[in-house]
A and B are shown apart, each in its own frame.
Chain A
Amino acid sequence: MKGSLALTVCRIALLWAAAITVLFPVVWIALASLKTPGQLNDPFLISFTPTLNAWRAVLSSDILAAAVRSGIVAVTTVVISVVIGSMGAYAIARYRAGGTLTRFGMLAAQVLPPAVLVFPFLTMAYALRLNDTIAPVIFAHLSFVLPVVTWFLIGFFEAVPRSLEEQALVDGFTRFAAFRLVVLPQVLPGIGAAAIFGFTLSWNDLFYGLILAPGKAAILPVAIAGFNTFRGVQIGSMSAAILIAVVPVVIASFFIQRRLVQGISGGAVKF
């Protein structure tokens, strides 16, 4: 039993180390958002009188409007991705549509540097007079959210027994009705997780927003980057804005942890 005790101690120590590593920057930023500009020069200052100046500045700025725009971009991207992605994932899972190449090839989009895609997007946005609106940002986000959502859902669709669908066909339903009434309800947890996963991907993306909508239609990460001004980085306000940006992602991740593992491991976790 001595060995197992040592093991437990080791395990707990490791978990704490990991937790501290992850949480330290968040705590640091939370503290920074409550400090005066003078106190910010001392990162290790723990005990101080908090000030809400940075928060006031952030809340009166464009940050909230940017957060709303980010929300619109992320939600639109996710809705489109889930509708198209679930149908695509179903086709790939059931009919091997496109063979194994599609299945893994679509992840190749993730390997492609965004910089390669952003210029065509920008040119098209200009031609359509859509530059500096959120529309091209949505299209750009689709380019990486849709493949991930589709890939994520394949495993969930594969876990649905084929006989379930055949049963619905024999029971008098069309193929699409069988998909909608029988298959889709089985993968709802997966779709929920894929949606949240896709949301965080879109919500966190800075690069496309920075190039395609740098001005009045700036999304949240771009607006945060805007605190890096010609007068230097406004660390206090930026920290407050970052916290606003992080909260939805943390909440979302909490709800989907298990499904996330399932989606990434190809539906191997039983549900």
Chain B
Amino acid sequence: MATVRFRGVNKAYGSTHVVSDLDLELPDGSFTVLLGPSGCGKSTSLRMLAGLESITSGEITIGDRTVTNLQPRDRDVAMVFQNYALYPHLTVRENIAFPLRATKKPRAAALKRADEVAESLGLGELLGRKPKELSGGQQQRVAIGRAIIREPSVFLFDEPLSNLDAKLRVETRTELLQIQRRLGITCLYVTHDQEEAMTLSDRMVVMRGGRMAQEGTPLEVYSEPADTFVAAFVGSPKMNLIDGGLSNGTFSTSTGLRLAVGRTGTAAVTLGVRPDDLIPAAVDDERADAQVKVIELLGPRAIVTLDAAGTELTSVVEASRLSEIREGAPVALQVRTNAAHLFAANTGQRIVGATA
């Protein structure tokens, strides 16, 4: 168990900067998720912590040890790879016990410990099987077992759920969280799936182009995205982002869409509205802001795609309201009170308080 710190970490291949000035602290026992699109440097950051990639400049510490130049084996970290990387020639028991072979622990004791770990993960029946005889979910659990057997200082996960089908992914996610809570080991988890990031993390780091775009609790990131990139990346369905101008509390676009946003000031802005905060109401043709294009029913709620004077917007409404909102129907739009996000049109940065 340990606190992990990245201090001014850079990674460059020649003139290509993969990770730039990463300053990050993973508190002891925390579950931090690195989130971002592919190529944003999140996996590289994880691999630098594991020691699988060298660091161009900066420092990484685990607890009070500086590990910047240590070999992976000396860092006391465990890792679960996207493809699980189970050793194909070893049985489940031998796979889980494998890290203990490096510690000179007696073989019998190591195998006994592996049996206990396997039992705790519900793999008791499968001890003698080879990885290729296991389902994806079982392989995943073996990989987790192999990671926890050594009780490392830090767990690293590189998109460990992306090879599972959707249902199993949700189940395994919960299991993973329970294991981490039980063991209280510091966790760094990489994913491009924002839902995974939201549900798993107690701290979330959104990365873009090798830099940290935002860091905070999932709620902070969701409710106060630092810029339009984070706003669009976190949350599903995606936040509506509309370019336009703000004056006297009303946001308007060049195409004539006008929305009351309850913010003062005058500026060129990008308006961000979560689909849940965009409320359509059926009206007559003359007062309509938009027209309903498509309705996708999710069960209790539905995703409504709207055409507002040429701008496509998304709204999520209760299924019960679908009696008034139909495909092709004209609707008036309203932004929920205090739910408008404003971003500077030129920089994309969040505007806090009144605009200048």
- Which A residues have a C-beta under 8 Å from some C-beta of B? 161, 163-164, 166-174, 177, 181-182, 185-186
Contacts and interface: CB of A to CB of B under 8 A. Distances in A.
B27 interface: no
B83 A170 contact: no
A181 B88 CA distance: 12
A167 B87 CA distance: 9
Identify which of A163, A170, A182 gathers the most chain B CB atoms within 10 Å of its CB.
Answer: A170
Given A171-B146, A186-B88, A166 B52 contact: yes
Interface of B is mostly: loop
A168 to B, nearest CB: 8
Contacts of B146: 171
Given A169-B72, A170-B77, A170-B79, A161 B102 contact: no
A186 B50 CA distance: 24
B323 interface: no
B103 A166 contact: no
A167 B89 contact: no
A170 B98 CA distance: 11
Nearest to B156: A170
Given A161-B85, A186-B88, A167 B79 contact: yes
B184 interface: no
Contacts of B229: none
A182 B102 CA distance: 13
Interface string B100-127: 0111000000000000000000000000
A161 B83 contact: yes
Contacts of B83: 161, 163
Interface of B: 50-52, 71-73, 75, 77-79, 81-83, 85, 87-89, 98-99, 101-103, 146, 150, 156
18 contacts: A163-B81, A164-B87, A166-B72, A166-B79, A167-B81, A168-B98, A169-B72, A170-B52, A170-B72, A171-B78, A171-B150, A172-B99, A172-B103, A172-B150, A174-B73, A177-B102, A182-B87, A185-B87
Contacts of B73: 169-174
A120 to B, nearest CB: 43
Nearest to A166: B52
A186 B83 CA distance: 16
- By Cβ-Cβ distance, the 6 closest A-B pairs, closest first, are A172-B102, A167-B85, A171-B99, A163-B85, A185-B89, A169-B72
Contacts, number: 58
Contacts of A171: 73, 78, 98-99, 102, 146, 150
A169 B79 CA distance: 10
Contacts of B79: 166-167, 170
B290 to A, nearest CB: 48
Contacts of A167: 79, 81, 85, 87
A197 to B, nearest CB: 22
A232 to B, nearest CB: 57
Contacts of B85: 161, 163-164, 166-167
Interface of A is mostly: helix
Nearest to A177: B102
Nearest to B100: A172
Nearest to A169: B72
A173 B102 contact: yes
Contacts of B103: 172
A269 to B, nearest CB: 16
Nearest to B81: A163
Contacts of A163: 81-83, 85
Contacts of B98: 168, 171
Nearest to A188: B89
Given A161-B85, A171-B99, A177-B102, 16 more contacts: A163-B81, A166-B72, A166-B81, A167-B79, A167-B81, A167-B85, A168-B98, A169-B71, A170-B52, A171-B73, A171-B78, A171-B98, A171-B102, A172-B73, A181-B101, A186-B88
A161 B83 CA distance: 9
Identify which of A167, A168, A169 gathers the most chain B CB atoms within 10 Å of its CB.
Answer: A167
Identify which of B79, B85, B88 gathers the most chain A CB atoms within 10 Å of its CB.
Answer: B85
Contacts of A173: 73, 102
Contacts of A186: 88-89
A177 B150 CA distance: 18
Given A163-B83, A164-B87, A182-B87, A170 B102 contact: no
Contacts of B52: 166, 169-170
A166 B78 CA distance: 11
B188 to A, nearest CB: 13
